[in-house]
Amino acid sequence: MPMLHTVNKSPFERRTLDTALRHAVKGAAILLIEDGVYAAFDGTVVAEKVKSALKDHKIYVLGPDVAARGMSEHHVIDGLQVVDYGGFVDLVVEYDKVQSWL
Amino acid sequence: MKLSVLVNEGPYQHQSADSAIQFTTAALKKGHEIFRVFFYHDGVNNGTRFAVPPKDDRNITEQWTALSKEYNLDLVICIAAAQRRGILDENEAKRQGKDGHNMADGFRISGLGQLIEAGIQSDRLVIFGD
């Protein structure tokens, strides 16, 4: 399996999501954690970019970090998968390498 | 699977210390081996037992110590990063002529080679930082 890329910054604060998407090969997965979860919400100015990235990548978002920000799974873009910390561990195991974009 | 974790931020700088301990706990509960948790840069601040957070605040250092007791975790603090930030174990305090030491139970001080070894020996190295 290709690489898992974790993104922990809001797309409204830093460009790490763009960097991750630029480097991620087709089939690589993106996991949004910490403030990175802001990229997962529908209706934002980056939502279209995230939706179009779904063509080439599975995109996951860490549920506890969504909840910690007062949001719920209902706000998450269709097609993204919400995981808990156990799911985070499973992704780390499933993909060959983990690249943390900080 | 054999995993290692790198923590680059302290409990009061960034969420990454919280993320790291929650990830580590989840991995252990799933039966994976955590080969080592390495604390680097401001991450060494996870290892001071002199921090006294308010009772209603989470105490990450105590959580690491408890996790290390339960699972016999190897919690390694980078010596150069620790010395800059005043994190000392008994030996280092003596060697540097300091009048106290603050390393929490379950942590040990060592060098960057331990991080390299963790990267080589583990199937995955997961990095938490800012």
What CATH number is associated with residue B82?
Answer: 3.40.1260.10
pLDDT in tens, A24-62: 999 999 999 999 999 999 999 999 999 999 999 999 999
Query: Among all chains, which residue has been given the structure tokens 């580590």?
Result: B24
How far does CA A11 lie from the centroid of its chain? 11
Domain hosting residue A64, numbered range: 4-101
- Which CATH number characterizes residue A22's domain? 3.40.1260.10
Cβ neighbors of A72 (< 8 A, separation 6 or more) are A66
Inter-chain contacts counted by CB atoms under 8 A, chains A and B:
49
Query: Residue B96 — φ and ψ, nearest 5°?
Result: -95, 0
How many angstroms away from the CA of B24 is the closest CA of chain A?
9
Check if A2 contacts B (Cβ < 8 Å): no
Whether the Cβ atoms of residue B67 and residue B26 lie closer than 8 Å to each other? no
- What's the total number of domains in chain A? 1
pLDDT tens-digit series, residues B54-93:
999 999 999 999 999 999 999 999 999 999 999 999 999 9
pLDDT tens profile B19-66 = 999 999 999 999 999 999 999 999 999 999 999 999 999 999 999 999
Report how many domains make up chain B: 1
Residue range(s) defining the domain that contains residue B96 = 2-128
